[in-house]
Amino acid sequence: MAKKPDTFEALALQNKILQEQNDLLREQNERLKQAASIDIDDEVKDDLLKKSLSFHKGKKRDIFIEDIDRDEIREGFLVTSRRKKLWNVLIGLMQEFDRICRKHNIRWFAIGGTLLGAVRHKGFIPWDDDIDVIMLRPDYEKFKQVVEEELKYHPHYRMWYWYNYRLETDSEAAQHANYDLPFISKEQMNRHPTWAPFFPLLRMIDERTTYLMPDDRKDVSYAVWIDILCLDPCPPFPDKEIQKTFDTAHELLLATVFPEKILIALRNGEKFLIPKDKLLAFLKLPYKMRAQQFDLFLAKNFVETPYICEFTRNTIKRKNYTYKTKDFEKVIYLPFEKFEVPVPANYKNALTDRYGKWQEFVIEGGHVNEYSTDISYREYFTKIKSRK
């Protein structure tokens, strides 16, 4: 016989539901006010309101994980309900990412641990706690062009860009121009020269959550996200001109991430493909503009080659994650928890290129230090700052 709920517990649950409903109504009313104040024709305004209200219909998240409220053992690893709730947020983000890509005919693939999880576990690797998706450069650039409009009226999902920071090494004028961006000190840059913001990727985040990384990343990593990566041409190349373009992009990335090292190299007389005057002019740009110019260069110079790679891993982290282009020519779908993800048709080749003996289990720690799927990062950091 089921246990009758305690009266106080029932009242607390009822109050929590009422509070959530009130919060929802307040947010909905605010959006109605904003829409009403916009000077646009009635048809456009009605469409705007429908979009806004449709996102609010039903507060609860969709569930993509079996037995989300129960701990379980997978592959000899304890998967807690708390971890499952994080997974559920990640799949929710991936579902929205997939919706946008389908709408705009953008091709993408699960990659890294997400691809390995789909193939080997039909879902998450039990000890993993993130999602990686990837696109070829043309699709990546197309996604950047449409995503802001697609998320314009979404109440929770936002985009994070790798260049949305200001650095202490930027000029005072550059820092002032980007005053509303998170600040990265020189000490942080020296301590962690290869992590975000210096890693060219996009992230879609869920603003209802808090996601804390170890060490001093805490002030720049805040909400649960999925990583959106990019594939670019990679050596060996079929001709010298393409190799030269790749080497030039390599120099641009190093000048973006390690400007002081490039300045020292120039003073020491080292030679670069980029003419010295142009390289010096590039180094004077704010970090954000350097990063955007790097992306633009790769977008303008994309060509089909036999090999593709995650450019930054090969350049900065020196990890040779190189794939054969032919393995990514076709897409198939594999189960991933209660979702399905697109993967390269020749996914076994891609996994072998990335991991070698990918069938063997190697239990590793996750990427995240602390997280909450219930507390917004805004609430968290407001309370942390008020405590100082």
* Contact between 337 and 65 (Cβ < 8 Å): yes
Kindly tell me if the per-residue pLDDT of 10 is higher than 50.
no
Residues 298, 242 share a domain = yes
Residues 248, 123 share a domain = no
Q: Give per-residue pLDDT as tens, 325-350.
A: 999 999 999 999 999 999 999 999 99
Distance of CA 153 to the CA centre of its chain: 19
120 part of a folded domain: yes
Mean pLDDT of 47-55: 54
Instruction: Write down the pTM of the prediction.
Output: 0.81
Residues 158, 98 share a domain = yes
Residues 126, 272 share a domain = no
Residues 202, 258 share a domain = no
Residue 234 vs residue 187, higher pLDDT: 234
263 part of a folded domain: yes
Residues 170, 158 share a domain = no
Residue 258 vs residue 291, higher pLDDT: 291
**What is the domain extent for residue 72?**
61-162+198-231+329-388
What's the confidence (pLDDT) of residue 257? 84
Mean pLDDT of 118-135: 95
Kindly tell me if the per-residue pLDDT of 72 is higher than 90.
yes
Residues 132, 177 share a domain = no
Residue that terminates a domain, selected from 304, 321, 348: 304
Separation between Cα atoms, residue 380 and residue 370, nearest integer Å: 12
Kindly tell me if the per-residue pLDDT of 8 is higher than 50.
no
Kindly tell me if the per-residue pLDDT of 59 is higher than 90.
no
With bands split at pLDDT 50, 70 and 90, how would you rate the model's confidence at 56?
very low
Token couple for 84: 């499952």
Residue 177 vs residue 290, higher pLDDT: 290
Helix (H, G, I), strand (E, B) or coil at 33: helix
Domain tally, the chain: 2
Kindly tell me if the per-residue pLDDT of 45 is higher than 70.
no
8 part of a folded domain: no
Separation between Cα atoms, residue 206 and residue 371, nearest integer Å: 12
133-165 as b/e: b if 16+ CB within 10 A: bbbbbebbbbbbeebeebbebeebbebbbbbbb
Token couple for 47: 């469409």
Kindly tell me if the per-residue pLDDT of 53 is higher than 60.
no
Residues 203, 85 share a domain = yes
Residues 227, 99 share a domain = yes
